Structure 1
Amino acid sequence: MTANNTAAAVEKTAKVTTESFQIQLQTLWNDSVAWLGSHWLQILVAVGIATAIVAILHVLRRWGMRLCEKSVGPAGWGTILGRTIARTGHFFIIMLAAKLVAGYANPPEMVAKTIDFLFTLAAVFQAAIWARELILGAIEKRTESENYHGEALLSALGLIRLLVTFALFAIALVVVLDNLGVNVTGLVAGLGVGGIAIGLAAQGIFADLFAALAIIFDRPFRRGDRIHYDQTKGTVEAIGLKSTRIRAFTGEERVISNKQLLDKEIQNVSARHHVRNRLMIGIAYETPPDVLEAIPAMLEAIVEAAGAHASRASYEAFGASSVDLVLEFDVPGDDVPASNAARDKIIIGILRKFAAEGITIPYPAQTAFTAAPDGKLIYPYPPEPQEVPDGRP
């Protein structure tokens, strides 16, 4: 008995819905016929204006296509804008023209509501298409650098395109349903909960993906750069969707996830414009003060002759067996072997200059004193002779 009642209720509901739809359709037809009969001149004028609007919009669309065809080399903002304009749909163009002239034609309420609904539908999804083209165009523009060509990271653009498309069209669908009067609160809550669940389940993958995007936009390093992080030094060979491969200077390939890599302090050696070297030089205490005063200028001249720039040449401290001097100089560029060659040239030049000037770099020296049984010190060298008043020793 209960099943029969349920089936009857469903059948009755379907019948009522069908009859209601037929009544609305009949009302729309009758109103349209009456409108055409009473406003035919206004309708003709509106159709002419709408045709002109459609033609103008199609001209703009073709201009966007030609702008894309003329682009050579990496995509610029002009190309991205042209591609966005070229993605304008015919349905949106027609509904935009209809919306602009609908007020002049004074259509009946049912026709006006239909135009409003179709225009909203076309405008929302067209805005999603435009936004997708602009976002993806901006991402592709950032990856057009030649140092990113051929990397596995470029294959991530397919996944990025899918994620961006899904997000934008999901928002567009919610907006359309809301304009239809559908309660989208539950749908939005469900999408939010589902997104949180997916994010928690794949947080490691998404963290590495967003880290890869950070590498694209922030560019802390590129393929081919020499970097230092933690205790590792090497050359970046590949930047992938999840990890980065680095060829260590000792020969092995090291793989580290993008998130862990960006969490560390990274020193981009390739980005430096000079290599700084530091030398500690000891000068014998027996060196005359005038010579000590002239030594920093000597060292600066030697550094400049080697093609480097002296940033500091000054005395540091009194050492155990010498006056300690610090020499710091910069070699232009980021080539470490060239820096080492310049450093060797400077060291040899210092030794030659000191030998010519009679300046001594002393060995570490220490003097030991012993004591006699009576407590007197026994010197390790003969005592100096004492002079008598008449000048004889």
Structure 2
Amino acid sequence: MLLDPIERASARLDATLGETMRWLTQESGEALFGSLVGLAIYVVLLLVLWGARRLLPRAAESWRGLARSVVDRTLQVFLIAVALDGATHAVAPPGVLMQLVDKLLVIAVAVQAALWVRELVVGLVRRKADSSPEDAIALGSATGVINVLVNVVVWLLAAILILDNLGVNVTALVAGLGVGGIAIGLAAQGIFSDLFAALAILFDRPFRVGDTISYGTSTGTVEHIGLKTTRIRALSGEQLVMANTKLLEQQVANLHLIEERRVVLTFGVVYQTSPDQLEALPGALQAIVEAQADCRFDRAVFTGFGPSSLDFELVFFVTVADLAVMLSARQAVGFAVVRRLAELDLHFAYPTQTTFTAAPDGRLIDPTQISEKSAKH
């Protein structure tokens, strides 16, 4: 039973060699022309490969260096297969020989494409890792996983293409791989989701190691970006460990990228303030902000009538991103506001409630007026 396929393959090989030898003997001129065409194609491909290597540097951190690494993975077998295919199409060799060359070309193209794709993907990851020391540390463990995944995918696709070209029925194989892949994906769904989230963080760079971020109700400095979790040092000192998927599901504010800080101060003055004093207050607030270093005035406006105060809002920007500078500027502006209101004889309002008494005729009597009259008597 096992000898039948071997015998059939041996008989097919003998037939191919026999037809090829008869064609070479009977059509020697055509065979010589085809050989010259194949040799010319091979030389041209070598010259193209040599020129590409001369034009592209070996620097791994540049795009041209990445292209050079891909070019260096070109196999001589691939060039020979392309040259043979061109030679067989330039002449009329036996059909068996042409089929053999076509199959050789498909195999060579599948292997060469797998090598190019693998080198391109791994080169992109390597280039990303070499862009900064932080990314190199973070991508150190991810690179190994990426290499395994890329190798499995590209070589599996190449093997399926080669087997299909050789006449093997790959339908059952593809179906089995699909079912197995679904089972593995469902079993490791959490792991893969965190892995892809880690790659998204590393490649999209919403934040990096050393950045201070705010998410949910927590704020801290990123210490490590792993394959499954990200470790964050909270402002209160403890280390927070967040799953990458859970972290990206939230709105993350990168405080490290702040260019300037906005400060809003709201306060109220008593209702006994005169209209002239109220109109002069926005200008006085603007002068206070403009007198401070690293501060840019935005607005100072009357915002409404509160339950026990006339409310104002002062908005300005601190043009330095440092948090300590913002806190110092906010404190200086606050103290200056208190001092200026005292100079203008303006009083801050605080929650108060006044009870009015009704006279026998229904008129409301202000209790403060009664107290004033009692004091005079």
TM-score, scaled to structure 2: 0.88
Q: Which amino acid aligns with 1:336?
A: L
Give me the CA root mean square deviation.
2.8
CA contact (8 A) 1:67 1:79 kept: no
CA contact (8 A) 2:194 2:243 kept: yes
Q: Which amino acid aligns with 2:371?
A: P
**Equivalent residues in 2 for 1:310-321, closer than 5 Å:** 310-321=297-308
CA distance in 1, matches of 2:238, 2:5: 72
- Gaps spanning 5+ residues in structure 2: where? none
2:171 is aligned to 185
CA contact (8 A) 1:63 1:82 kept: no
Q: Which amino acid aligns with 2:168?
A: V
Cα displacement string for residues 361-388 of structure 1 (whole angstroms, at most 9, x for unaligned residues) = 3455555667999x997723325989xx
1:52 to 31, 40, 51: 40
CA distance in 2, matches of 1:208, 1:42: 61
Cα displacement string for residues 63-84 of structure 1 (whole angstroms, at most 9, x for unaligned residues) = 444566442xx62332222221
Distance 1:184 1:228, change over 3 A: same
| Residue 61 of structure 1 pairs with residue 52 of structure 2 | no
1:333 to partner: Cα distance: 4.1
1:381 to 337, 362, 372: 372
CA distance in 1, matches of 2:248, 2:338: 45
1:7 is aligned to none
2:315 is aligned to 328
1:93 is aligned to 79
**Segment drifting more, 152-161 vs 360-369:** 360-369
1:89 to partner: Cα distance: 0.8
Q: Which amino acid aligns with 2:118?
A: R
| Residue 202 of structure 1 pairs with residue 193 of structure 2 | no
Distance 1:147 1:246, change over 3 A: farther
| Residue 357 of structure 1 pairs with residue 344 of structure 2 | yes
Q: What SS class does the counterpart of residue 347 from structure 2 fall into? A: coil
1:39 to 6, 18, 27: 27
2:154 to 128, 143, 168: 168
CA distance in 2, matches of 1:122, 1:171: 13
1:118 is aligned to 104
2:15 is aligned to 27
Q: Which amino acid aligns with 2:40?
A: A
**Segment drifting more, 292-301 vs 140-149:** 140-149
1:282 to 259, 263, 268: 268
CA distance in 2, matches of 1:109, 1:177: 21
Instruction: Indicate the percent of aligned positions where both proteins have the same amino acid.
Output: 40
1:266 to partner: Cα distance: 1.4
Q: Which amino acid aligns with 2:372?
A: Y
CA distance in 2, matches of 1:246, 1:52: 62
CA distance in 2, matches of 1:18, 1:381: 122
Q: What SS class does the counterpart of residue 382 from structure 1 fall into? A: helix
1:129 is aligned to 115
1:360 to partner: Cα distance: 2.9
CA contact (8 A) 2:268 2:312 kept: yes
Number of residue pairs aligned between Structure 1 and Structure 2: 372
Q: Which amino acid aligns with 1:83?
A: S
CA contact (8 A) 1:42 1:104 kept: no
**Segment drifting more, 103-112 vs 141-150:** 141-150
Q: What SS class does the counterpart of residue 371 from structure 2 fall into? A: coil
1:37 to partner: Cα distance: 1.7
- Gaps spanning 5+ residues in structure 1: where? 1-9, 387-393
CA contact (8 A) 1:230 1:265 kept: yes
Distance 1:52 1:314, change over 3 A: same
CA contact (8 A) 2:129 2:136 kept: no
Q: Which amino acid aligns with 1:82?
A: R
Q: What SS class does the counterpart of residue 372 from structure 2 fall into? A: coil
1:144 to partner: Cα distance: 4.0
1:269 to partner: Cα distance: 1.6
2:327 is aligned to 340
**Segment drifting more, 53-62 vs 153-162:** 53-62
1:267 is aligned to 253
Distance 1:133 1:19, change over 3 A: closer
1:153 to partner: Cα distance: 3.0
Q: Which amino acid aligns with 2:334?
A: I
CA distance in 2, matches of 1:300, 1:383: 43
Q: What SS class does the counterpart of residue 310 from structure 1 fall into? A: strand
CA contact (8 A) 2:37 2:86 kept: no
Q: What SS class does the counterpart of residue 344 from structure 1 fall into? A: helix
1:247 is aligned to 233
CA distance in 2, matches of 1:272, 1:253: 23
1:30 to partner: Cα distance: 1.9
Q: Which amino acid aligns with 2:75?
A: G
Distance 1:382 1:93, change over 3 A: same
Q: What SS class does the counterpart of residue 151 from structure 1 fall into? A: helix
CA contact (8 A) 1:368 1:380 kept: no
CA distance in 1, matches of 2:11, 2:267: 103
1:188 to partner: Cα distance: 0.4
CA distance in 2, matches of 1:149, 1:142: 7
CA contact (8 A) 1:54 1:94 kept: yes
CA distance in 1, matches of 2:105, 2:19: 20
